[in-house]
A and B are shown apart, each in its own frame.
Chain A
């Protein structure tokens, strides 16, 4: 429990502040509309649902402001870079941007529901008070003229007795934009479920661009000024507490109380969303500008199992380890951008990606590059965007776990660490690396295999065999393989991979591994980096909590999971 708090205190604090602000804004607006004198007459018709609707509207403004910020990738990379003096825990929170985006989206859905339900009641009550002919206060208020020339200012948006609420909804700006926004919101949220994102990403991507309608609708939603409150002069002339009872005599000239006058509130949503919208527009322009820069492909390599390596160059491109780029190939599909982790180190003069064939776009790309006699397709690149693996050099001891295709970011990290180590870079705090590679079969990753072989050789030449300690776990084993391995037990290199380190079969026992590391490095800070499945993340996180001692001077395990 103590370890959980130490690792998560910032997230908890951040979420608590956000929820607290939501609650505060809701309650504050609710009380304001429930008690203010301005809305005395409005409340007479509508009751408490006015305050409900306005409170949820304020929360909607607040959350709509927040929702665009976590998806500005460049902004987050910028913050990550400028806040390098901040502690690790703070910068790690930038990884959880998508989780925050989803939380804010859920809050928006909740408040939309409250807002719509409250306004449904409001419209119904306005409609009934318009239909009322009993001469009560509400009917008098509702009959206030809409005609501006007669000096009257109206309260009830339903002008005529035979106007239906549906008519008012679809002819007023607020109603129409409200319907459009809600449909856009529903479509966005339903197409963003995990099932759709995993299986039909384009549907999610194109549908999510409906947010443009949502933002535009939000900006102009309040223009009509349907929520009316009494004007200042009107209150000064006749305070509602005094005049409300004498409503029958408002028309009499000798009565001190005149008919109250109302005005609509100016729209305020645009004030909340203007800055994030500008930031987001800048972000998109930046992405577009970057994508137009020329990308020169210097080398194309076809690895076994249909893995394509592209080595490229772009003016002004500078990367950090473990970052990813978005790649677009206009000849295959002009609008699709796909992310790929960079597999080259920053010390190299080119940047490279390894593309596996899985899906239409990647297969088409590989086929296009395989053509020997046709020109190389043009590639556009946007990025790079950052992840937690930039922190890997700050830990004395690094435990890197790559599962399956998750090994790709570690190619970049290992290469970079090797360059830094060779160049005796003083910024490199890492003294020891434990690398765990878990996969079913090495077929599609033979390029990574070769990288490890080269690393082994380099380390031997430099005499630094102890720097990198890697283990490969093959989870896709059967008795044939094991028999083979057992027969060749005394060979110097592993028969499957050709590496000096023998392959283990099955999954690693993390408790053993962590306790070994904890005993070998009792006073160090150990960073655990994972690129792999959620279940593995859970077990690693548990082990990190279990083996970190509460004493901050002793061994501490920090868990970092890459998140996109």
Chain B
């Protein structure tokens, strides 16, 4: 499955970014003097802005400098609070608004860990469809050398099936495609032939060559060639395809939970002590039975 041109584009852009980066660092000698705080004579800046120590650590009480800031300041009372226990279930993936798009303000990697190159591309995308469509057109139209078209249909379907099961990410969770587990078991059978990305790169390259002889399927060739390059790059970086194993079902997890609970010693089966609220109310009402008795342990 040919995908995004991480090869050429990414390499070029990384080179450019690195070059631009070093030029930036050379021209930028840090923030210019006076960039924190108002510059003299700058219109529109109210009195009261002053260069403060840049970072506030966590502290109790109102943040110093908060009151003089510009009109009515929101008093930031930073309170240290213990963390709440973690959630039992995973997070939802919100969509739509800025905060919801990736749950992070930075539109960064949603989860997790180093982006595997193969994951950037591993999708059943329109690119197999390009190969298959070209093949169908050539075969149906009975173009000259239409047998290349028939070949590309077969090759396209094969690559589709090979690429359908998404590989597991190194770190974090991966979402499975619908119905992927059937193909996973088939793809797993071939062992290193499907796991190794060098093999996949070579396979894609070889499959793309015959399709290059026919104009209708030449786009498919280009796509497969790009995919081959991407796999090569991923293989050089040491990635490989690992199947997503199905997690043990909820029933099994529940069973384990119940077993663990059953093994714990049972506590006393007495009713819990009455809450202090009730006791206070009774005392106020003057309940004759609830006379507080002095105890040595209060």
By a beta-carbon cutoff of 8 Å, the part of chain A in contact with chain B is 109, 113, 116-117, 120-121, 123-124, 127-128, 165-166, 169, 179, 182-183, 186-187, 189-191, 193, 195-196, 198-201, 203, 206-207, 210, 294, 296-304, 311, 313, 315, 324, 330-331, 333-335, 338-341, 347-350, 353-356, 358-362, 369-372, 375-378, 387, 403-409, 415, 419, 440-443, 446-447, 450-451, 453-454, 474-476, 478, 480-481, 487, 489-490, 496, 498, 530-537, 561-564
In the bound complex, what is the Cα–Cα distance between A177 and B219 (angstroms)? 13
Chain A residues closer than 8 Å to B106, beta-carbon distance: 338, 355, 358-359, 361-362
A356 touches B104 (CB 8 A): yes
Chain A residues closer than 8 Å to B3, beta-carbon distance: 187, 190-191
Q: Nearest-CB distance from A487 to chain B (Å)?
A: 7
Q: Nearest-CB distance from B80 to chain A (Å)?
A: 7
Give the 10 A-B CB pairs with smallest separation, nearest first.
A359-B108, A562-B97, A533-B94, A358-B104, A191-B4, A190-B125, A405-B99, A441-B84, A531-B97, A476-B87
Q: A199-B111, A199-B115 are in contact. Are A490 and B277 (CB under 8 A)?
A: yes
Asked if B20 is an interface residue, CB under 8 A from chain A, the answer is yes
Q: A409-B97, A561-B96 are in contact. Are A201 and B4 (CB under 8 A)?
A: no
Q: A120-B137, A330-B28, A356-B105 are in contact. Are A450 and B87 (CB under 8 A)?
A: no
User: What number of A-B contacts does a CB cutoff of 8 Å give?
Assistant: 296
Chain A residues closer than 8 Å to B83, beta-carbon distance: 441, 443
Q: Nearest-CB distance from B237 to chain A (Å)?
A: 14
A531 touches B54 (CB 8 A): no
A121 touches B215 (CB 8 A): no
A375 touches B30 (CB 8 A): yes
A207 touches B107 (CB 8 A): no
Least CB separation from A188: chain B residue: B4
Asked if B186 is an interface residue, CB under 8 A from chain A, the answer is no
Contact size class for B? 35 or more
In the bound complex, what is the Cα–Cα distance between A117 and B149 (angstroms)? 13
Chain A residues closer than 8 Å to B92, beta-carbon distance: 533, 535
Least CB separation from B141: chain A residue: A121
Contact of B222 among A183, A341, A347, A476 (CB under 8 A): A183
Chain B residues closer than 8 Å to A169, beta-carbon distance: 215, 218
B99 touches A408 (CB 8 A): yes
In the bound complex, what is the Cα–Cα distance between A298 and B275 (angstroms)? 51
**Stretch in B34-42, B193-201, B256-264 touching the partner:** B34-42
Q: Nearest-CB distance from A112 to chain B (Å)?
A: 10
Contact of B70 among A120, A189, A348, A442 (CB under 8 A): A348
Asked if B81 is an interface residue, CB under 8 A from chain A, the answer is yes
**Stretch in B45-53, B153-161, B247-255, B282-290 touching the partner:** B45-53
B126 touches A127 (CB 8 A): no
Within 8 A of A (CB), among B1-24: 2-6, 9-10, 13, 17, 20-21, 24
Least CB separation from B29: chain A residue: A375
Chain A residues closer than 8 Å to B275, beta-carbon distance: 487
Chain B residues closer than 8 Å to A315, beta-carbon distance: 42, 44
Least CB separation from B136: chain A residue: A117
Chain B residues closer than 8 Å to A451, beta-carbon distance: 74
Asked if B127 is an interface residue, CB under 8 A from chain A, the answer is yes
Most buried by A among B21, B99, B144: B99
Least CB separation from B27: chain A residue: A330
B99 touches A406 (CB 8 A): yes
In the bound complex, what is the Cα–Cα distance between A183 and B127 (angstroms)? 10
Q: Nearest-CB distance from A52 to chain B (Å)?
A: 13
B110 touches A199 (CB 8 A): yes
Since A186-B126, A359-B109, A406-B99 are in contact, a sample of 19 more A-B pairs with Cβ atoms closer than 8 Å, ordered by chain A residue number, is: A166-B215, A189-B126, A196-B120, A200-B109, A203-B120, A294-B35, A296-B36, A296-B37, A299-B69, A338-B106, A340-B98, A359-B104, A361-B108, A376-B31, A404-B103, A498-B79, A532-B96, A537-B96, A561-B97
In the bound complex, what is the Cα–Cα distance between A376 and B87 (angstroms)? 36
Least CB separation from B84: chain A residue: A441
B56 touches A532 (CB 8 A): no
Chain B residues closer than 8 Å to A532, beta-carbon distance: 94, 96-97, 100
Chain B residues closer than 8 Å to A199, beta-carbon distance: 109-111, 115, 119
Chain A residues closer than 8 Å to B97, beta-carbon distance: 387, 406, 409, 530-532, 561-564
A338 touches B20 (CB 8 A): no
Q: Nearest-CB distance from B5 to chain A (Å)?
A: 6
Q: A169-B215, A182-B219, A481-B84 are in contact. Are A450 and B55 (CB under 8 A)?
A: no
What 0/1 readout, one digit per residue, does chain B (67-82) give for beta carbons within 8 Å of chain A?
Answer: 0011110111111110
Q: Nearest-CB distance from A215 to chain B (Å)?
A: 17
Contact of B94 among A191, A294, A534 (CB under 8 A): A534
Q: Nearest-CB distance from A512 to chain B (Å)?
A: 22
